[in-house]
Amino acid sequence: RFNNVHIAERLAGVPGPRESLWQIILEMDLTLATYFFRLHLATAAFIVLKTFKDRMVQQREIETLKSEKATAELNFLKAQIHPHFLFNTLNNLYALTLDKSDQAPEVVAKLSEMLDYMLYKGQEDRVALRDEMAHLKNFTELEALRYGDRLQLTVDFEVPDPHATIAPLILISLVENAFKHGVSGATHKAVVQIKLAQQPKQLYFEVRNTKPRTAQPDPRGYREGIGVNNARRQLDLVYPDRHQWQVEATDEEYCVQLTIQT
């Protein structure tokens, strides 16, 4: 009877006991292989994603450190602006006060506006052009008051949109440099010309000054001074790849031309 059943199963295509066991083993091997393949694939994917995430975190940390370093350096550069100018202005104010000059209140008002701008507006990332121009105007008017007839000053602002913004305290460094190296040591009438021209998505700034006449020429050449170096570094930090800098220097004249892509 058993043989008859077995024969019937064979004829019906029903696998025998050994064949069923072999199929089970094969299916188990295939299942295990698939499982381990998926496990390795998932592990590899996890490692790749974890590595990518770690690198992204590390890159963000590096960028944050760079940004913090740039901000700290920029604040340090801003803090260096005007030390000798403030000293000279206070001396000039002291002299005017002793003479009981009517110009003393005007000097105090302009100096107060400048200090307010440097301490507050100057710490912002961007300021309106009208505020930067007002700061430049206060500076040049105080210098004109200081030097009197020894200075021929021309200031030309062509700014159709004074509400446009700019990084603060960059332009003033170039103007300060012109007075420090072109006027303070002059034995003849010094000339300073300042031009600010606004164009679509571009700002052009030019400062031109005569050089002091000296009996012996400086073998090191005309120094740019801390102000110019300060401005150049600020431009590198604030307007990287968005500014052009050109210097024209002769025996009698020095000119800085700056173009900023806004």
Contact 97, 104 (CB under 8 A): yes
pLDDT at 74: 56
Give the structural domain span for 211: 81-261
Among residues 205, 207, 201, the alpha carbon closest in space to that of 242 is found at 201
Any idea what the CATH number is for the domain that residue 189 is in?
Answer: 3.30.565.10
Question: Cα-flanking dihedrals φ and ψ of residue 81, to 5°?
Answer: -75, 135
Domain presence at residue 76: no
> How far is 104 from 111, CA to CA, in rounded Å?
11
Residue 24: strand, helix, or coil? helix
Position 4 confidence tier, pLDDT thresholds 50, 70, 90: very low
166 and 230 both lie in a single domain: yes
Q: For the chain, how many structural domains are there in total? A: 2
Q: Is residue 226 part of a domain?
A: yes
Per-residue pLDDT of 16-56, as tens digits, reads 555 565 665 556 656 766 766 777 777 877 887 877 787 77
Least confident of 2-11, 125-134, 219-228: 2-11
- Quick one: pLDDT at residue 96? 79
Same domain, 16 and 139: no
- Residue 246 DSSP label: E
Are 65 and 99 found together in one domain? no
Residue 210 lies in a domain: yes
